[in-house]
Structures are given as structure tokens and as C-alpha cells.
Amino acid sequence: MKAEYDFSEAKRGAVVEPKGKTRISIYLDDDILAAFRARAEAEGKGYQTLINAALRAAIDPSAAPVTVETLRQVLREELHAA
């Protein structure tokens, strides 16, 4: 390893932007972030992926995963109709 390097002729490499994603900075409450990180570790996923899924479900409730309450409601309706 050289003691000193000459970067006077250096050029910056091309920056490739990821398609479909935008980098932003937001502030989240500590407990919210801790909950997402804990869930991510338990599920073996990234916490940002889980936050993205939660936000997607919030803007499109039909895409949200089925909750226990929703499942119970559907079962009640189907049993009542039978």
C-alpha cells in the first residue's frame, strides 16, 4: 500500500439510480422503529421492506393481509348465509 495516492486526475463513477424507489429521510417514533426491527428480525426480512408493506396496506386496504378480525367477520357472514 502506498503512503500517498494522487487523485488529481480522478473521475467520479456513474451513479445508477434504483428503479421504482426513492431515497427519503423521515422521522419515526423510536417504539415504531423498534417494533418493525423486531418483527423484521423474527420474519427474516428487512425492516424497511415491512414498513413499505405497512404503508402500501394503509393506502390500499384491499391489499392488506387478512387479519384475524377480518377472517372472523367473513366466517360469520358465510355461516349466517348457509
pLDDT at position 44, please? 95
**What confidence tier does 12 reach under pLDDT thresholds 50, 70, 90?**
confident
Tally of CB atoms within 10 A around 52: 12
pLDDT at position 49, please? 94
pLDDT at position 25, please? 94
For residue 62, is pLDDT > 90? no
Here the cell at position 66 is 387478512
- The backbone region for 79, taken as left when phi is positive above 0, alpha when psi lies in -120 to 50, beta otherwise, is alpha
Can you tell me the mean pLDDT for 48-66?
A: 86
pTM, rounded to two decimals: 0.57
pLDDT digits (tens, 9 = 90+) for 15-47: 877 788 888 999 999 999 999 999 999 999 999
Which runs of consecutive H residues, i.e. helices, occur in 44-67?
47-59
Can you tell me the mean pLDDT for 76-80?
A: 93
